[in-house]
Structure 1
């Protein structure tokens, strides 16, 4: 009976916002926070309350630093008392009231965080004691062949986070591998929301059920990409830089409806004569809009193979405009 009365009183403290005054009088305990687990793209943080007078109740608030998402939060106090927890993807509010002071080093709160690879400074505030508990949260990378100092780091993880590109294996992105026609069309199909596709596949070299079948049919129907002649699409052929830019230009015009009137003169590039007639408008737009830049030797290399890292860069640029 006595426990029930105490429970009711504690609920009142939590719900009516009377905790601050009560906690200030009792003196909130010091807390610590530490990363207890790391996995690809995520980390787990546990807040621990040290034992002492006033540890029977406390309050914690936090705002996630940019780039870090609060995937879930849960109280670890169990039947020790009552917890009031509310959270969003970017913020947290947690208060607890227990029947007695907590045992030494009691785990009180577990946070599961996700984000792009990197190290984040997470600040957990204890309002009553005006303390701030800081914890360095490292989000491990998914791909072990993409390092933070690589020029394509942000683009790769942005493309991956948007669901446009995946790795060539569970932990390898293969940034320097060639992009194929099938790969590029599939990324544009995903960017468009992977819409339903009807109609027959017109190409003899696209086997039914392949990962790119729907994307190829969609691209043909929308005019984003054409076949290579002879009733073939050549899905496994390496896509050149001018082919890629042309597909992106057609996507921008026919699907995204974004501005494409930027034009640049290409004569300043020493290999501009190698640009095929079908790709000139697209290449002028790509250079004029900043989508594509020349190489240090003042070339565009229109017939050079597009790498997966370069593809990620182009796709992220275009996705930001859509």
Structure 2
């Protein structure tokens, strides 16, 4: 009946949008010959305050961060029901449901996200980008969902210039510490680690899992993220089919990856040339210039860019946050 139109539901503090492609896909769940009187059942049940508080307490014990619920908690269920009461539920939605929650006062929107809450209290980060007072995310399965502020601190970042950038990216589950309590901001970052950060930040997925580079084992923790970054044209190898995943990513290499991810439209005011411009490799010179012009990176305080220096974990966090801010 909806044709190609999405079904949008609104109530105070909540907006839900079900795409037409999802609704039509539900027909495939019903066995042949049984769909005559089938109906689509979509329910949004608000979890009672007491139960929501109990689930939040359980969830808080499962994470190494301070969490605060940012609004109401909902049980979201989608199914097809037959006249005899039989239900068919998709394990995963063919197309995602857009689910937006209003955040309560006092919640830091930069640290907020939509989470799926398991029966054992485990939290799965779904996403969310705050705008107009709502935090929208894409749901891909039924379950219990709520918005949480995720406040992660690291002892070695107190007062550090990158502290806020790291806290924001940790809340988006893009970066992790080198331990539960330390971030190691001055530690060099590898090429594989930065490629994985880009893939997580941009929600990239690989179309296929075949090895892209000869020196990347398909079982490596970063293999799928690196494949996604490569397939989307964000990273290049070092030649001869090699990527050098464990080599430190240089500042000029990071500038190139950031610019490819930025997909710049138009030109930006030209940034002052760094005083060590002649040290920038020819292949990277234009991309470094554009990365500086678009505000994706900054030079060092002495006016240099240090193109071949290893990128630190702190620098990479700030650069990823710059990228996300520019892409909004």
Measured against the shorter chain, the TM-score band is: 0.5 to 0.7
Per-residue deviation, residues 75-104 of structure 1 (Å, max 9, x unmatched): xxxxxxxxxxxxxxx9xxxxxxxxxxxxxx
Structure-1-length-normalised TM-score? 0.56
CA gap 1:199/1:299 in 2 versus in 1, 3 angstroms: same
| 1:224 and 2:243 aligned | no
The correspondence of residues 104-253 of structure 1 with structure 2, limited to 5 A, is 115=149, 117=151, 141-147=152-158, 149-253=159-263
The correspondence of residues 267-278 of structure 1 with structure 2, limited to 5 A, is 267=273, 269-278=274-283
* CA apart distance, 1:71: 9.7
Pick the structure with greater CA Rg: 1
CA gap 1:71/1:288 in 2 versus in 1, 3 angstroms: closer
Between the two proteins, the alignment pairs up a number of residues equal to: 205
Per-residue deviation, residues 234-262 of structure 1 (Å, max 9, x unmatched): 10100000000101111122xxxx43622
* CA apart distance, 1:194: 3.4
User: What residue ranges of structure 1 are gaps of 5+ in the alignment?
Assistant: 1-35, 46-61, 73-89, 91-111, 118-140
SS in 2 for 1:145: helix
CA gap 1:194/1:171 in 2 versus in 1, 3 angstroms: farther
SS in 1 for 2:176: coil
* CA apart distance, 1:182: 0.2
CA gap 1:271/1:198 in 2 versus in 1, 3 angstroms: same
- For structure 1, which segment, 192-201 or 182-191, has the greater mean C-alpha deviation from structure 2 after superposition? 192-201
The correspondence of residues 35-74 of structure 1 with structure 2, limited to 5 A, is 40-42=64-66, 63-67=104-108
CA gap 1:114/1:301 in 2 versus in 1, 3 angstroms: same
SS in 2 for 1:186: helix
In 1, Cα distance between equivalents of 2:252 and 2:298: 12
Aligned alpha-carbon RMSD (Å): 3.2
User: What residue ranges of structure 2 are gaps of 5+ in the alignment?
Assistant: 1-56, 70-102, 116-132, 134-145
In 2, Cα distance between equivalents of 1:184 and 1:238: 9
Aligned 8 A contact 1:181 1:234 in 2: yes
Task: Identify the residue that residue 259 of structure 1 maps to in structure 2.
Answer: 265
Structure-2-length-normalised TM-score? 0.55
Task: Identify the residue that residue 310 of structure 2 maps to in structure 1.
Answer: 305
In 1, Cα distance between equivalents of 2:170 and 2:156: 14
Aligned 8 A contact 1:241 1:305 in 2: yes
Task: Identify the residue that residue 290 of structure 2 maps to in structure 1.
Answer: 285
